[in-house]
């Protein structure tokens, strides 16, 4: 119902074309009687007099003093509209909706002092009708306002059923049952139907009306359909069923809902072809899906359907699945959790969490579930699919393991070591415990690698790793930081003594011989220890300090452990300063060569001078080569310095008597990059010295590294005419074996044997063996570091051919060479009485 005031300027388009209407008549009167607006026309002039049949659709309403409305006079049509008996009916007797409309019309006219209209509707005999309800305000002599009400029905009527059922696509049919004499339903007849039904059957309405189902060829005459409809009639209840039959182009699917109403049966037909198609697609998707999928009843969690992929993947038969709830696909300890998860699921879930499922054979797998609720056949279900991520997770775990572990030994790597150290430090801080970081380095690992080959080196590292694993407590942690470097975190310590005990144990255990590929390998380990919190509370800081302590333990002779001390840092700084100083020492001409004579014991004459490098540091004074040469080797500076030594020594020696040679030390580092032969050749050429006057001293480490290439280089040097001596013989790993590799011209017996000749019988035995070796190889043997007459006598008696040491002369600047030579030559001219000669030499 719509209700709005209408202020008729020209009163409501009076029905000029149709028969005259009451409202036109009354409005005309009302206007003509309204002489001086806003005064209202008097009641007597408008409402009295001959209204004829117009009075049927009018009513007179009087408002009493209390504001109540009263129906004073009511026409017959108005009475019928209002649902009240004729005349005298109280306002309150009006049907509620009518009273409401009437009051609206009166209120609007009161507000405006003009005629007002509202619209009302009613359904009469299945027809929908619209009325305009007019209220015309009038004045009255006796005071309270009076209204004349006119009911004006519009012409248009609409069939309500047509309106209701015309729009729907569903077919609505009213059938009546045709029964045989036995009162059995044999057919049905169309009584009424909507446009939707005609459209569904694709038949004109005339063809359907009063037709029997059996005549129409709609497949609705089939026994099953008739039976279902008959059942609805007989059982007096609604029956739902589906009908499928081949249509012109495709299969047709209807959902039929039949409900008996008296003699009639109301049938609703819904075209469900689309739904069926969707169902078919779903089934196809479900079955053809390569991912295991189940349709599960949401209340019982029973498996209703399962696809082939699930059968294959889980190893249960379909029948077995249909006996199971979906929870039984899970490992027992996660079933309750999954049931709760399903219960609370209010939106589609795309697996982010891993669930553990079990196959029929009991094997477990990790899956991501995809779950959504789905209504099917009026029941609430879950569609659950799972993606098996077992292999992916294993691969991820492998990658994560690889990122944190060393491939060769499977020990944790530096990344994991730092993480664990961080955790251990945080824990130790809370518990007030100590943490030790022990950095370990295998002594002479490089030699093993170089002599026995990398495969043996790798196996040795694995064997060392195994020893770590078996010798540490569970709370301790070991990692391989790289190469032959390992590190241990020792936690929950009360005192540093525990760290030294572990270090000592490791040194002993790692130092036990290894049997690898038929070789017995012995290797030591040096350890540097830093303690938290005293030596640092940050992982990097502790590692750095432990590393410094390791550096010290290696310098202190290896196979020992050292605790970090604060001044190690200062020493490292000093080393860095020295490195900077060394880098410009060559340019600044701070190097000088000193020469120490080598005396031939047979002739008593100086047969050579060994060139020994000296560094005059601008502030520190003379720095020992033992201090700076290892550093030069480390930083590669020895290549340039070594070349300078070669040039300088040859340049100097060329001025000496022809029979006096010059011995020059070569570092193994100079052999790298194959530059040593070129450097020597250049020194020879630029000085003009005869190659046979040059003796190069190398240590066995030259043959350890890249041995083939270096032997090649030595041969090239020898081809130049140069002599090659093996320095520090007897101190290395396997000096003897190197004598086989290259035909040395001389062996220099290390001064450590000479020094202990008197005290240690073994030293004497070694010297005897070495001199014997020299003799049998027909090469010279030079004993270094001869300081006393006793040593000299001993060496002579053992058959040593040359000696060198402070007994004869300390290394002296080049300017002193002539003086030394003069003295020794002069004295060497005396008769070769052995004792005399010795006395003369010793005087030098
Ligand atoms: N206690 C004692 N020592 C004696 C005696 N006689 C000689 N010495 C010292 O023994 C060392 C012998 O040299 P080295 O074994 O080749 O050992 C050398 C050599 O390995 C290295 N070196 C020196 N100059 C050079 C060089 O130009 N190039 C290279 N690559 N290394 C050099 O530095 C090391 C140390 O050289 P220096 O300090 O000059 O020390 C020299 C020498 O001064 C003695 O009777 N008693």
> 597 CB less than 6 Å from ligand 1?
no
Instruction: Decide if 173 contacts 210 (C-beta within 8 A).
Output: no
Distance 268 CA to ligand 1 centre (A): 116
Give the percent of the chain with pLDDT over 90. 57
User: Is 828 a residue whose pLDDT tops 60?
Assistant: no
pLDDT tens digit string along 768-824?
999 999 999 999 999 999 999 999 999 999 999 999 999 999 999 999 998 888 776
- Among 239, 164, 157, 217, smallest CA distance to 194 is for 164
Q: What is the mean pLDDT of the chain?
A: 88
Ligand 1: does its nearest atom lie under 6 Å from the Cβ of 502?
Answer: no
CATH number listed for the domain at residues 168-271: 3.30.450.20
Tell me the average pLDDT across 448-470: 92
613 C-alpha to ligand 1 centroid (Å)? 8
Q: What is the mean pLDDT of residues 127-150?
A: 88
Whether 670 has a pLDDT exceeding 80, the answer reads yes
In ligand 1, the atom with minimum distance to the C-alpha of 804 is 6
Nearest atom of ligand 1 to the alpha carbon of 613: 24
Instruction: Give the Cα separation of 561 and 578 in Å (integer).
Output: 26
Interval 410-437 mean pLDDT: 94
CATH number for the domain running over 290-393: 3.30.450.20
pLDDT of residue 428 exceeding 70: yes
Measured CA to CA, the distance from residue 530 to residue 549 in angstroms comes to: 7
Which has the higher per-residue pLDDT, 491 or 279?
Answer: 491
Lowest-confidence segment of 522-531, 667-676, 692-701 by average pLDDT? 667-676
More confident residue, 826 or 440: 440
> Alpha-carbon torsion 398, 402, 408, 412, what sign?
negative
- Looking at the predicted structure, is the pLDDT value of residue 837 above 60? no
| Average pLDDT of the segment spanning 474-478 | 93
Do you find a cis peptide bond into 533, omega within 30 degrees of 0? yes
Ligand 1 center to 448 CA (angstroms):
27
Question: Of 206-215, 395-404, 498-507, which range is least confident?
Answer: 206-215
In this structure, what are the phi and psi dihedrals at residue 283, rounded to the nearest 5 degrees?
-65, -40
> What does the pLDDT average to over 743-761?
91
Q: What is the pLDDT of residue 735?
A: 62
Is the model's pLDDT at 479 over the cut of 60? yes
The residue whose CB lies within 8 Å of the most ligand 1 atoms, and thus the one to mutate among 611, 612, 747, 750, is: 612
Confidence at residue 134, expressed as pLDDT on a 0 to 100 scale: 95
> CB of 335 within 8 A of CB of 307?
no
Compute, in angstroms, the gap from residue 612 CA to the centroid of ligand 1. Answer: 6
Give long-range contacts, CB 8 A cutoff, 24+ apart: 513-519.
Answer: 514/460, 514/463, 514/464, 516/452, 516/456, 516/459, 516/460, 516/463, 517/452, 517/455, 517/456, 517/459, 519/452, 519/456
| Class of 408-569 in CATH | alpha beta
Atom of ligand 1 minimally distant from the CA of 787: 45
Q: What is the pLDDT of residue 844?
A: 29
* CATH for the stretch 22-159: 3.30.450.20
Sequence-ordered strand ranges (E) for 343-444: 349-350, 355-358, 364-376, 379-388, 434-443
| Lookup result for tokens 């049938």 | 267
Instruction: Give the Å distance between the CA of 692 and the centre of ligand 1.
Output: 22
Closest CA to 447 of 840, 126, 733, 133: 733
Q: Name the pLDDT band for 834 (thresholds 50, 70, 90).
A: very low
The CATH classification number of 581-751+780-843 equals 3.20.20.450
Each residue's pLDDT tens digit, 385-413 = 999 999 999 999 999 999 999 999 999 99
Check whether 30 has a pLDDT greater than 50: yes
Q: Among residues 653, 654, 655, 628, which one has the least CA distance to residue 642?
A: 628
What's the 361 CA to ligand 1 centre distance in angstroms? 76
**622, 615 Cβ separation under 8 angstroms:** yes
Pick from 665, 746, 749, 795 the residue to mutate for probing ligand 1's pocket: most ligand atoms within 8 Å of its CB: 665
Domain ranges in the chain are 22-159, 168-271, 290-393, 408-569, 581-751+780-843
Q: Tell me how far the alpha carbon of residue 725 lies from the centroid of ligand 1, in angstroms.
A: 14
**Cβ partners under 8 Å of residue 248, min gap 6:** none
Residue with the smallest CA separation from ligand 1 atom 36 is 625
Cβ–ligand 1 contact at 716 (below 6 Å): no
Measured in angstroms, how far is the CA atom of residue 626 from the centroid of ligand 1?
8
Q: Tell me, what's the pLDDT at 706?
A: 62
Instruction: Pick the residue whose CA is nearest to atom 10 on ligand 1.
Output: 785
Q: Are 794 and 764 in contact (CB under 8 A)?
A: yes
Please give the pLDDT value at position 281: 86
Q: To the nearest 10°, the Cα dihedral for 656, 660, 666, 671?
A: 90
Domains 22-159 and 290-393 share a fold: yes
Instruction: Say what the pLDDT of residue 399 is.
Output: 93
Ligand 1 centroid to Cα of residue 808, in Å, is: 15
Omega cis (within 30) before 38: yes
537-552 pLDDT, tens digit each? 999 999 999 999 998 8
How many Å lie between the centroid of ligand 1 and the Cα of residue 750? 11
pLDDT at 830: 39
Interface TM-score (ipTM) > 0.90 = yes
Q: Whose CA is closest to atom 1 on ligand 1?
A: 785
Residue showing tokens 């697996």: 351
- Percent of the chain surpassing pLDDT 70: 94
Q: Which pTM was predicted?
A: 0.47
Radius of gyration of the chain (CA): 59
Q: pLDDT tens-digit profile of 460-469? A: 999 999 999 9
Least confident of 205-219, 336-350, 506-520, 597-611: 205-219
pLDDT single digits (tens) 246-261: 877 888 899 999 999 9
What is the distance between the alpha carbons of residues 750 and 813, in angstroms, rounded to a whole number?
23
Tell which atom from ligand 1 comes closest to the C-alpha of 786. 45
Among protein residues, the one whose CA lies closest to atom 21 of ligand 1: 625
Ligand 1 centre to CA of 726 (Å) is: 14
CA distance 315 to 450: 56
pLDDT at residue 8, rounded to an integer:
36
Q: Is residue 805 within 6 Å of ligand 1 at its C-beta?
A: yes
Give the pLDDT band of residue 570 (cuts 50, 70, 90).
Answer: confident
Nearest CA residue ID for atom 9, ligand 1: 785
Of 442, 468, 324, 445, which Cα lies nearest the Cα of 384?
Answer: 324
Burial of 631 (0-12, 13-18, 19+ CB in 10 A): middle
Average pLDDT of span 227-233: 90
The finding on whether 158 has its CB within 6 A of some atom of ligand 1 is: no
What are the tens digits of pLDDT across the range 60-102?
A: 898 877 778 888 888 888 888 888 877 556 788 888 889 999 9
| Closest protein CA for atom 42 of ligand 1 | 811
- Is residue 329 within 8 Å of 358, Cβ to Cβ? yes
Give yes or no for residue 565 CB within 6 A of ligand 1: no
pLDDT at 825 over 60: no
Which of the listed residues 623, 625, 752, 754 should we mutate to test ligand 1's pocket, taking the one with most ligand atoms within 8 A of CB? 625
User: Is the CB of 644 within 6 Å of ligand 1?
Assistant: no
Measured in angstroms, how far is the CA atom of residue 627 from the centroid of ligand 1? 11
- For residue 437, the tally of other CB atoms under 10 A from its CB is 30
Residue-level pLDDT at 15: 36
pLDDT, tens digit, for every residue of 151-179? 998 888 888 878 878 878 889 999 999 88
Q: What pLDDT was estimated at residue 87?
A: 59
User: Does 559 have pLDDT greater than 70?
Assistant: yes
**CB of 624 shorter than 6 A to ligand 1:** yes
Residue 804 makes CB contacts below 8 A (sequence gap 6+) with: 596, 597, 598, 599, 610, 782, 783, 784, 785, 786
Q: Give CA torsion, residues 337, 338, 344, 350, to 10 deg.
A: 130
Atom 44 of ligand 1, nearest CA residue = 785
Cα 698 to middle of ligand 1, angstroms: 12
| Surface-to-core class of residue 426, CB atoms within 10 Å of its CB (0-12 exposed, 13-18 middle, 19+ buried) | exposed
Residue 705 pLDDT grade (very low, low, confident, very high; cuts 50, 70, 90): low
Both tokens assigned to 743: 């035909």
């Amino acid at each position: 119902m719509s209700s709005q005031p209408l202020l008729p300027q020209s009163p409501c388009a009076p029905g000029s074309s149709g028969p005259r209407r009451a409202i036109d008549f009354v409005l005309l009167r009302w206007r003509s009687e309204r002489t001086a607006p806003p005064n209202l026309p008097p009641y007597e002039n408008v409402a009295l007099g001959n209204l004829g049949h117009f009075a049927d659709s009018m009513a007179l309403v009087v408002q009493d003093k209390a504001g109540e409305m009263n129906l004073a006079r009511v026409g017959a049509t108005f009475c019928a509209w209002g649902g009240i008996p004729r005349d005298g009916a109280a306002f309150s007797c009006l049907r509620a909706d009518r009273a409401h409309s009437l009051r609206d019309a009166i209120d609007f006219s009161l507000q405006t002092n003009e005629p007002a209209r509202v619209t009302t509707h009613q359904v009469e005999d299945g027809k929908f009708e619209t009325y305009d309800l007019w209220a015309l305000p009038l004045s009255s002599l006796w005071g309270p306002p009076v209204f004349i009400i006119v009911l004006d029905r519009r012409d248009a009527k609409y069939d309500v059923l047509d309106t209701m059922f015309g729009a729907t696509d569903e077919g609505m049919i009213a059938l009546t049952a045709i029964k045989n004499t036995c009162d059995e339903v044999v057919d049905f007849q169309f009584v009424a139907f909507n446009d939707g039904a005609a459209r569904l059957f694709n038949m004109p309405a005339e063809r359907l009306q009063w037709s029997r189902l059996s005549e129409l060829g709609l497949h609705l005459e089939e026994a099953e359909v008739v039976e279902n409809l008959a059942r609805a009639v007989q059982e007096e209840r609604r029956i739902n069923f589906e009908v499928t039959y081949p249509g012109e182009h495709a299969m047709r699917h209807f959902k039929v809902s039949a409900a008996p109403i008296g003699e009639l049966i109301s049938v609703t037909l819904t075209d469900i072809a689309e739904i069926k198609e969707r169902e078919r697609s779903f089934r196809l998707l479900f079955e053809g899906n390569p991912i295991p999928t189940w349709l599960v009843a949401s209340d019982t969690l029973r498996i209703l359907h399962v696809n082939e992929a699930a059968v294959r993947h889980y190893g249960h038969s379909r029948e077995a699945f249909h006996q199971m709830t979906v929870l039984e696909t899970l490992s027992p300890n996660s079933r309750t959790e999954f049931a709760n998860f399903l219960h609370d699921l209010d939106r589609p879930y795309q697996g982010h969490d891993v669930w553990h499922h079990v196959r029929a054979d009991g094997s477990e797998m990790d899956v991501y579930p995809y779950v959504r609720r789905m209504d099917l056949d009026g029941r609430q279900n879950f569609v659950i699919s799972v993606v098996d991520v077992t292999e992916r997770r294993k691969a991820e775990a492998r990658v994560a393991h690889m990122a944190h572990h060393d491939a060769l030994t499977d020990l944790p790597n530096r990344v994991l070591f730092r993480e664990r150290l961080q955790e251990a430090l945080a824990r130790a801080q809370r518990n007030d415990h100590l943490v030790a970081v022990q950095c370990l380095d295998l002594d002479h690992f490089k030699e093993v690698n170089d002599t026995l080959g990398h495969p043996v080196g790798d196996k040795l590292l694995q064997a060392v790793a195994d020893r770590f694993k078996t010798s540490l407590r569970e709370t301790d942690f070991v990692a391989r930081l790289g190469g032959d470097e390992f590190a241990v975190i020792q936690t929950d310590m009360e005192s540093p003594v525990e760290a030294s005990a572990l270090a000592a144990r490791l040194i002993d255990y790692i130092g036990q011989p290894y049997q690898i590929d038929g070789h017995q390998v012995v290797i030591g380990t040096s350890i540097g220890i830093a303690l938290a919190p005293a030596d640092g509370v940050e992982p990097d800081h502790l590692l750095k300090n432990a590393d410094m302590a390791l550096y010290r333990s290696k310098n202190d002779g290896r196979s020992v452990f050292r605790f970090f001390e604060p001044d190690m840092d200062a020493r490292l700084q000093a080393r860095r300063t020295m490195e900077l100083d060394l880098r410009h020492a060559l340019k600044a001409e701070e190097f000088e060569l000193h020469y120490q004579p080598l005396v031939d014991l047979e002739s008593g004459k100086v047969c050579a001078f060994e060139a020994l490098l000296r560094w005059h540091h601008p502030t520190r004074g003379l720095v020992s080569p033992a201090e700076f040469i290892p550093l030069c080797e480390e930083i590669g500076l020895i290549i340039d310095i070594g070349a300078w030594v070669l040039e300088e020594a040859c340049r100097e020696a060329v001025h000496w008597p022809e029979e006096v040679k010059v011995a020059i030390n070569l570092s193994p580092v100079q052999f790298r990059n194959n530059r040593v032969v070129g450097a020597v050749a250049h020194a020879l050429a630029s000085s003009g010295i005869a190659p046979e006057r040059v003796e190069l001293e190398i240590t066995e480490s030259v043959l350890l590294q890249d041995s083939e290439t270096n032997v090649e280089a030595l041969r090239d040097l020898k081809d130049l005419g140069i002599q090659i001596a093996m320095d520090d013989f007897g101190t290395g790993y396997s000096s003897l074996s190197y004598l086989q590799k290259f035909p040395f011209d001389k062996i220099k017996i290390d001064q450590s044997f000479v020094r202990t000749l008197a005290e240690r019988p073994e030293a004497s035995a070694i010297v005897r063996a070495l001199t014997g070796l020299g003799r049998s190889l027909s090469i010279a043997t030079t004993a270094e570091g001869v300081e006393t007459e006793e040593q000299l006598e001993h060496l002579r008696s053992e058959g040593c051919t040359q000696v060198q040491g402070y007994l004869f002369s300390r290394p002296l600047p080049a300017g002193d060479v002539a003086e030394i030579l003069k003295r020794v030559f002069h004295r060497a001219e005396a008769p070769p009485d052995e004792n005399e000669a010795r006395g003369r030499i010793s005087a030098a």
